[in-house]
Structure 1
């Protein structure tokens, strides 16, 4: 599926992915090519109603792309603290609000070895490197569950040709568009035809 075609169907995009994925280029492209207003959700979640800042973002009047961390809380909260500050019921309610705004979640993902290389190059701790596989699995599970309540687009990054960390696009160059798949229960997930991206670890 073409990314431009996919995003044209949605007025709201909640962009998430585990540590090490590249979301900045995707968000910049949404703003430049499709006129989305890009905003970043605060990592500080209110104790009583942690989803409130996300619901407030949905009050924006136009096309909106959010660099978010709500799904990340569902994944990394249990991994790092033993619990999530966001409950599944709260996440489901938010997903339904996103769907009502003609929106979708965008799950940005990459193969585990690529993420390990990127984080190692950034000086990540041994603990952070050790949790990557569990985090990737956690995101897959979280998004497949949320797909019962809102559409989910999966953008699968391809590793750089140099086998090192992906360089940031720029200097007059356009980043290659990653393949996109879309799924929402009860429809089956549609995988990209690109052979490499069909390989999941």
Structure 2
């Protein structure tokens, strides 16, 4: 399932729901797309922001991501194996991550009540942008994918409505 957010309305109903219902959000986007404002907003909303450190493990490139997904609480991962699926072939002629590993990763994100946030916008890397889109459409068969335009990410983000008890209200309709 892929949900698209128009650039004129960056906080579409689907993203509001993701912020209140997802424990895990994996932020993906092509090189050159600013994700900083979105990452900062996720941290402000109580997500622990993490990025796999160092190069991918040569035997098991999924290891750092499995470790990240094992963390308790709400988690936002800045970039993931999807980046390697796209940029590996463009930079080195092959990916160090197999599709089976990427699909396992997508299922692990979904099992952790998560979604992939596909950040789009203006960029020069057309081949990478197209590859990222194809990869996320494929992974979207296993985990929700929310697409949003980076040009609207810096806009103010309203807080979800709260009930008198302090719990977040569930959006209705649409």
Query: What is residue 60 of structure 1 aligned with on the other side?
Result: 71
Q: TM-score, normalised by structure 2?
A: 0.78
CA RMSD of aligned residues (A): 1.7
Report if aligned partners of 2:35, 2:150 keep a CA contact under 8 Å in 1. Answer: no
Alignment counterpart, residue 158 of structure 1, candidates 135, 151, 156? 151
When the two structures are aligned, how many residues end up with a matched partner?
A: 145
Query: What is residue 86 of structure 2 aligned with on the other side?
Result: 75
CA distance in 1, matches of 2:156, 2:69: 27
Q: TM-score, normalised by structure 1?
A: 0.68
Which has the higher relative contact order, 1 or 2, with Cα contacts under 8 A spaced 6 or more apart?
Answer: 2
Query: By how many angstroms is 1:149 displaced?
Result: 1.0
Query: By how many angstroms is 1:6 displaced?
Result: 2.6
Matching of residue 18 in structure 1 with residue 11 in structure 2: no
CA distance in 1, matches of 2:134, 2:19: 22
Alignment counterpart, residue 42 of structure 2, candidates 30, 35, 38? 30
Query: What is residue 155 of structure 2 aligned with on the other side?
Result: 176
Query: By how many angstroms is 1:5 displaced?
Result: 2.8
Alignment counterpart, residue 8 of structure 1, candidates 13, 20, 36? 20
Query: By how many angstroms is 1:158 displaced?
Result: 2.6
Matching of residue 46 in structure 1 with residue 57 in structure 2: yes
How big is each residue's C-alpha offset from its partner over 1:32-88, in whole Å with a ceiling of 9 and x where there is no partner? 1x2101111224111111011001101111000011231110001111111000000
Report if aligned partners of 2:23, 2:113 keep a CA contact under 8 Å in 1. Answer: yes
